[in-house]
Amino acid sequence: MPKLPKLFIYLLGLVFIINLLQSYFTDLIFDEAYYWHYAQNMAWGYFDHPPMVALLVKISSLFFTGELGVRFMSCVLSVGTLYFLWLLIDNPKKNEYVLHFFVLTFSMTLLNAYGFFTLPDTPFLFFTALFLYIYKKFIAQPTWLLSIALGLLMSALMYSKYHAVLVIVFVILSNIKLVFNKYAWLAVFVALLSYAPHLIWLFNNDFVSVKYHLFERPNKAYDFNDYTIGFFLNLLALFGFTFFWIYKALIKTKNTDLLNKALLYITYGTLIFFFISSFNRRIQTQWLIVISITLTILAFNYMLENENARKWIFRMGLVNIALLIFARFALVFEQIAPMHYESHGNKEWALSISEKAGETPVVFENSYRNAPMYAFYTGNTSFSLNNVMYRRNQYSIDDSEAKVQHKKILYVSQYLLDGDYPLNLPKQKTGFGVYKDNFESFRKLRVLLDKKEIPLNSQETIEFKVFNPYDFDIDVNKLKFYVAYHNHYKRPEEVVPIAVSKVNTLQQILKPKDTLTYTFKMPKYTMKNPGYFKIAISENNLQPGMNGDNIKLTE
């Protein structure tokens, strides 16, 4: 490893300390609490994401408690990201502009935020920088050891975030000769071998993550301002006031070598991919995060050779940093924040519920956000009971439901019109909390319908099965059935009760790992032009759950 300038070491250490302090004093945001929930039951996969983010939380918890027990490894990986970005820059002038490097990187919004937040993008950024560094060595002189390292890093990228496939694909496209390289094939073999546990997890869980992200995720009608204009606004938000000179550096950079070519392919490929995607769905800013890595390298190299760019990126970078420092303080101190942010007040509302509930488990309806936040700050049991108007999540597939069965619980729901006390929760301004004795839910019951589509307004008799995945009997008299009509973008809009008939009318008990067959006819609806429907089951008069798959309604 090359010797680092002392100023680089000092500034890197300063960034690490700043991020540690930020981690300690900032309440968790909701996604972090959700990933903390992941880490309470380590697995090779989770509903929404691969498992790397949970591993970071788990390792952090070995060293610290509280917020640092979630974020410590993010602080470590963030300085590692900066270190490998520095190593990826070969220009001999770089040692003269260490301060410029830190101004450039610390002024990037999400690169800054992921210096302490623990989200899937945090390891994704680190492993992208490390992957590119090893790839740089590989193209200079491939060896078996570098091949194995590349394979492990491709796997680590995919364990971090599914978007990592773009990095891998665009690097291969930038150097198509890799297809004929035995060292590259070894890397692919190592990557597949080390990624196999997650692939097996996906298979054993019916590819739940893939199905959700590709087929089940609700959408809405195309909106030019929200989708496509929003995409371009995200490009500006990534770099703030330095955006003009950073994108100018991208345009000015030539294919001088294979590494530069890889950086250009990743950047342009990512931009083109998500630009096209913006005609189908709203692009979230963090989906573009990988270009912060590639454009750091390209922009800094451009700064070193262009005095005007160096001057303006430094000046505008300082403006960005001033704003980001204020934002960091605002994350901690709500009284100076221009708006309520999700890091504000979480400990307070969680403890306010705990004061009423004591150690009684709390069941939050339709909130995979509030349930883990409550558990994190109180240490008490919680569960997210998801109904058909919401979305499936990790609580739909893990063992959380079992922890509240047949216990007295506090049931917190926006659907309740009366209760023991009114709600005062983030993004949940209506509803109440009520105590329930001997709570019982069967959210994992699955509806199996072998049709992929059914004509709209069909009056045919439709047959479906209900599968019991539990290890106990279920009294079918506790079940009621509904059809949830969705619009053409898979958003639920109307829930209608249905009358069902059992094929075996004498059977009143659904045995473990067994099915019962029912028939029904499609009910009338009032919504305009439904596009999909799913069958939903209500148990013990709870709101109906997400038991069936979306079935397309045809004209």
- The model's pTM is 0.93
Q: Which residue has the higher pLDDT, 339 or 117?
A: 117
pLDDT for 43-93, tens place per residue?
999 999 999 999 999 999 999 999 999 999 999 999 999 999 999 999 989
Q: Which of 486, 482, 518 is nearest to 500 (CA)?
A: 518
User: Cβ contacts of residue 38 below 8 Å, gap of 6+?
Assistant: 46, 49, 51, 53, 54, 57, 394
- The predicted pLDDT at position 213 comes to 84
Residue 504 has pLDDT above 90, yes or no: no
How many C-alpha atoms does 250 have within 13 Å on its Cβ side?
21
For residue 501, CA distances in Å to 43, 283, 348, 505 come to 39, 44, 49, 8
Q: pLDDT band at 1, cuts 50/70/90? A: low
What secondary structure letter does DSSP report for 224? I
pLDDT for 448-499, tens place per residue?
999 899 999 888 999 999 999 999 999 999 999 999 999 999 999 999 999 9
**What is the mean pLDDT of the segment spanning 312-319?**
97
- The predicted pLDDT at position 356 comes to 87
Residue 376 token pair: 């994190």
Mean pLDDT of all residues in the chain?
Answer: 94
Report d(CA 216, CA 393) in Å as an integer.
12
Report d(CA 138, CA 183) in Å as an integer.
9
Strand partners, 83: none
Tracing tokens 């929760």 back to the chain, one arrives at 425
Report d(CA 21, CA 137) in Å as an integer.
35
Tracing tokens 């004498």 back to the chain, one arrives at 506
- The predicted pLDDT at position 429 comes to 59
Q: Residue 332 burial by CB count (10 A; 0-12/13-18/19+): exposed, middle or buried?
A: middle
Residue 466 token pair: 């209900």
Domain boundaries, the chain: 6-335, 346-436, 446-554
Per-residue HEC secondary structure of 124-150 comes to: HHHHHHHHHHHHHHHHHCCCHHHHHHH
Q: How are beta strands 446-448 and 479-486 bridged, if at all?
A: unpaired
For residue 348, CA distances in Å to 41, 130, 344, 427 come to 26, 40, 9, 15
Residue 340 has pLDDT above 90, yes or no: no
Residue 2 has pLDDT above 80, yes or no: no
CATH code matching the domain that covers 446-554, chosen among 1.10.3470, 3.40.50, 2.60.40, 1.10.287 = 2.60.40
- The predicted pLDDT at position 430 comes to 66
- The dihedrals phi and psi of 532, each to the nearest 5 degrees, come to -145, 165
- The dihedrals phi and psi of 445, each to the nearest 5 degrees, come to -55, 135
- The predicted pLDDT at position 427 comes to 63
Report d(CA 349, CA 426) in Å as an integer.
9
Report d(CA 112, CA 240) in Å as an integer.
12
Tracing tokens 């101190």 back to the chain, one arrives at 333
Q: Which residue has the higher pLDDT, 145 or 281?
A: 145
pLDDT for 26-44, tens place per residue?
999 999 999 999 999 999 9
Q: pLDDT band at 220, cuts 50/70/90? A: confident
Report d(CA 285, CA 283) in Å as an integer.
6
Residue 318 token pair: 């300082």
Q: pLDDT band at 223, cuts 50/70/90? A: confident
Q: How are beta strands 432-436 and 421-422 bridged, if at all?
A: antiparallel
Which run of H or E residues covers position 67?
Answer: none
pLDDT for 398-423, tens place per residue?
999 999 999 999 999 888 888 887 87
